[in-house]
Structure 1
C-alpha cells in the first residue's frame, strides 16, 4: 500500500455548527494491523459455539438498553436526529441482537436434502472478515443489522463508518468489546473513502456490504466484482405511497406524515412520492398539509422537537436545489420550501410530474411530492416509473384487491396500510438501482456464509 496523507475528520453538530470531536485517519501501518487482527480473530471465533456467541450478543443488547441515553445523545449531536427517535433506534438495535441470539442456531442449521447419497445436506460455514461501509442517517441501526447476523454466523467484522458519526462508531466498538466479544472480532476503520480499494483488494476481506448512495454502490460493487468478493448493496430509494379512494384517510395521512418526515426525511425507505387516486386527492391533501404544518422544529436534544436539521448543510442545499428545479418545471409549492443552514422546512409539492427532480430523484430530506392519478392502474404505472425499487406502500380497505396487486410492484417490499420499514424478522433489500442482496431475517445471515454441499456415501 502507498502511504496516503492522513486526514483529520471533524464531527460537526448540524444544529449549531459547533465541532464535537475530531479524529485522525489511521495510518497504513494501523490499517494493516487491524486487517491482520481481523484475520487472526477469524482463526478462533468460528470455534466459539453458537450458544456462547448468543450469550455475548445478549450482553450487547443489555448494554444498548442500559446506555440508551448516552448513545442516543451522541447520535443526536453528530447527525441531528431528534432525541426521541435516537432512543428508539438504540432500542431497535437491542431487538436485532436479541432476535439473532434467539434464532441464529436455527437459521444456520444444516439443511437436509434427499439425494442418491446416504446423506446429503448443505452446511452454512463462515467465510471470514466482512467489510461494512455504513452511512450516517441511522448510525447505530445500520451497523447492528449487519453486525448481529454477521458475528453470529462466525465471521469477523470491519466497520468503515461515515466520518461525521465516528463517535457512534467508537461507541459500537467499545460496547461489543465490553460485551465480551474477543479482540479483533469487530473493529473500526477510520479512513477516507479513497482507501476502500486497497482494503477490499487484499486477501483478508472476503466480502463487503454497503448501505449508501447509488454512486457509492456503483463504486463499491465494481471493486467487489474486480476482486471477486461477495457484495450486498442497499442503496437509495424513491418509494411510492399510493392512496386509493376507499382508504381510511385519517390513517393514511398519519402514516404518510411519519413515512416522509421520520429522521427529518433522511431515509432510503421514506415515502417520497405520494400517488393519490381520484377523489381521495381532495381528502388527503388538506389533512396532510395540516399535520405537516403542526410539526415542531428546533434543537434535536429538546424532547418536544419533531423535526431536526439535516445531517450537514450541503445536504439541505442539495434538497433546496431539487425543490427549486421542480418548481421551475411546473410543480406547485403547497407549504415550506425554505432553508436556514442545515435545517430545511418540511415541504410539500403538488402537480409533480416525471422529469422533475421531485419525481425522478431520491430526495433525502423533508420533501413530499404529491401526484394525482386518475385510477388504480395509473397509480401503479406512476409508482413503477422509477429507477429505484426499495418499497411501496398501498392504502386501501380492499385487502383482497391489494393482494392481487402485489405483482404489479417490482420493488423489494410491498406494505399494505403501513409505512415501509425494516424488521429483524423480515428480509430487507431492493431491486433495480436500489441494490441487491438481502439483510435481516434468515436471508440476511445467509448472505455471508459458505453454503457448502456435503455428500456422504457409505
Structure 2
C-alpha cells in the first residue's frame, strides 16, 4: 500500500506474493457505518446480558469450525507458523468461554448500603467504541477487545492493520454469522489519516489502541482533545531474569519461547536477558543450542516453529538496532543474517545500558544477554526502562523473588513463567507501555459508565 493509494494490498511476507486487494471505504461509507453503529446501539444496549452471552455460544462454534481456514489466513497475511496461528484461535475460544461464564456476574449491579431506600452501582455501556489494532496477533488482539466490549452492551468499530485486512473482514463476518446484529461490529477499511476525524465524531465514545508508543501518544492526544476515554496497550521491553539457582533443564524451553514465539514479534516478549554471573556460561551454551535447533521452513508446515517477520521493513529496523549496538561494543554470539523479511534468530552479548537493544523495544528474534552479579542488580537493571509491561524471573527461591513485587513497576510480574495474557487476569502496562486494563473483570468494566443510582421513597 503506497501513500495516496485508494486500495489496500495484502502480501505474503514469506514469499512476497500478493494475496488480495481491497478498496478503501469512502468517507460516505464510513459515515454510514458510524450512523448504523449508533442506531444499533440504541437497541443492543437494552438487551439483557443473557441475550448477549447466548450469541457467544454461536460465535464459539463458528470460530471453532473455521479454525483451520482462519489459521491459514493469519499465517498467509502476517507469516507466523501455522501451529501458532492455531494456538491464537484456541486462545480466542477460551476468551469466549470465560466471558460467557462470567459476564453476568461481572456486570451485575452492586448494592451499596447508604441512608437511601436503595442505592447501587449500575454498569451501563458507553456506546460506540473504536479499536485500532495491530497485525502481530490479528485475531487475539481484536477478540480480547471485542468480546468484553460487546458483551457489556457497546458496539465496536475496528481499524485493523492494513496487512491483515483479510483477518479484519473475516472477524466481522464471524460476528454477523453468529447472530450479532449488523452494525454491532464493523470493520473500517481506511488509513490512519482519517482516524482523527473518526475519533472526533460524536458517535464514537471511547478509543482503544494496541500498538507503538508513537501511535499511542497520537491517539491519546486526539481523544483528549475531544474528552474521550482511551485504553492504550503499547510497546514493551520486558526483562527476563535468570538466577543461579534456576532449573534450566525444566524452564529453558519456556525461556526460549518467551523470546522467539511469533518470531519475536510480541510486546510482552523477553527482550533483555539478565543472567546471574555464576550461571551465565552454562545458560549461554544451553540457550544457544536451543536457538540453533529452531526450525525455519514453510510456515504452513506443522513442524515449523520459526518464520519470517510480518514485513521486510520490520526486519530492516531490527537490523539497524543490532548494527548500532554492535558499533557500541555488542558482540554477535550467534545469527544476525537478514534476507528480506527473514531475520535469523540472533544472540548478542557484551551488552551495555546505552545500546539500542537494551533501551528500545526490539520486535523480532533477538536475544541480548547481559551478565549480572545478583538479584538486586538484576531488579535494578530490569527497572531501567521507559516501558512497563512485564518482568519474568526464573529461580528456585520463589519466596524471595515474590518479595520483589513492589520493586517492579510493570503491569505484570511472572515467576518461573513467561509473561503472557490470560482471560482470567488483567492485562496492561505502566509508563510508556500505556494504561488501562484488558481481560478479566477489569477489562469488561473499562468501557462502561459506572453509574451511581440513589433511590428514596
**Normalising to structure 1: TM-score of the pair?**
0.98
CA distance in 2, matches of 1:62, 1:80: 26
Q: What is aligned with 2:188?
A: 189
Q: What is aligned with 1:445?
A: 444
Q: What is aligned with 2:355?
A: 356
CA distance in 1, matches of 2:121, 2:370: 49
CA distance in 1, matches of 2:5, 2:259: 38
Q: What is aligned with 1:308?
A: 307
CA apart distance, 1:397: 1.0
CA distance in 2, matches of 1:395, 1:5: 49
2:199 is aligned with 1:200: yes
Query: Secondary structure of 2:22's partner?
Result: strand
CA apart distance, 1:48: 1.6
CA distance in 2, matches of 1:326, 1:440: 36
CA apart distance, 1:252: 3.3
Gaps of 5+ in 2: none
Q: What is aligned with 2:284?
A: 285
Superposed, 1:173-322 pairs within 5 Å as 173-322=172-321
CA apart distance, 1:253: 1.9
Asked if the contact 1:7/1:192 (under 8 Å) is kept, the reply is no
CA apart distance, 1:440: 0.2
Asked if the contact 1:64/1:91 (under 8 Å) is kept, the reply is no
Q: What is aligned with 1:81?
A: 80
CA distance in 2, matches of 1:370, 1:115: 57
Query: Secondary structure of 2:29's partner?
Result: helix
Deviation >4 Å, runs of 4+: none
Superposed, 1:54-65 pairs within 5 Å as 54-65=53-64
Q: What is aligned with 2:454?
A: 455
CA distance in 2, matches of 1:126, 1:16: 44
Q: What is aligned with 2:42?
A: 43
CA distance in 2, matches of 1:105, 1:65: 23
CA apart distance, 1:115: 2.1
CA apart distance, 1:277: 1.2
CA apart distance, 1:198: 0.4
Query: Secondary structure of 1:321's partner?
Result: helix
2:22 is aligned with 1:23: yes
CA apart distance, 1:64: 1.1
Asked if the contact 1:6/1:27 (under 8 Å) is kept, the reply is no
CA distance in 1, matches of 2:32, 2:4: 18
CA apart distance, 1:245: 1.0
CA apart distance, 1:282: 1.8
CA distance in 1, matches of 2:191, 2:270: 31
Asked if the contact 1:81/1:264 (under 8 Å) is kept, the reply is yes
Asked if the contact 1:257/1:291 (under 8 Å) is kept, the reply is yes
Q: What is aligned with 1:148?
A: 147
Q: What is aligned with 1:332?
A: 331
CA distance in 1, matches of 2:335, 2:342: 12
Deviations along 1:170-208, one digit per CA (max 9) or x if unpaired, are 110001100000110000001000100000001000000
CA distance in 1, matches of 2:446, 2:53: 19
Computed over aligned residues only, the root mean square deviation of the Cα atoms, in angstroms, reads: 1.0
CA distance in 1, matches of 2:357, 2:5: 38
Query: Secondary structure of 2:409's partner?
Result: coil
Provide closer, same or farther for how the CA distance between residues 456 and 262 of structure 1 changes in structure 2, counting only shifts above 3 A: same
CA apart distance, 1:450: 0.2
CA apart distance, 1:302: 1.4
CA distance in 2, matches of 1:206, 1:17: 39
CA apart distance, 1:74: 0.5
CA apart distance, 1:5: 6.2
CA distance in 2, matches of 1:246, 1:164: 44
2:109 is aligned with 1:90: no
Provide closer, same or farther for how the CA distance between residues 23 and 381 of structure 1 changes in structure 2, counting only shifts above 3 A: same
Q: Identify the range of structure 1 (442-451 vs 57-66) with the bigger mean alpha-carbon deviation.
A: 57-66
CA distance in 1, matches of 2:398, 2:265: 30
CA apart distance, 1:6: 6.0
Asked if the contact 1:6/1:26 (under 8 Å) is kept, the reply is no
Query: Secondary structure of 2:454's partner?
Result: strand
Query: Secondary structure of 1:207's partner?
Result: strand
Report how many aligned residue pairs link the two structures.
Answer: 455
Asked if the contact 1:243/1:252 (under 8 Å) is kept, the reply is no
CA distance in 2, matches of 1:351, 1:455: 63
Gaps of 5+ in 1: none
CA distance in 1, matches of 2:304, 2:245: 33
Q: What is aligned with 1:347?
A: 346
CA distance in 2, matches of 1:357, 1:191: 33
Query: Secondary structure of 2:310's partner?
Result: coil
Asked if the contact 1:240/1:271 (under 8 Å) is kept, the reply is yes
CA distance in 2, matches of 1:270, 1:251: 19
CA apart distance, 1:303: 1.4
2:435 is aligned with 1:436: yes
CA distance in 2, matches of 1:5, 1:20: 20
CA distance in 2, matches of 1:238, 1:7: 36
Query: Secondary structure of 1:372's partner?
Result: strand
CA apart distance, 1:251: 2.8
CA distance in 2, matches of 1:52, 1:453: 24
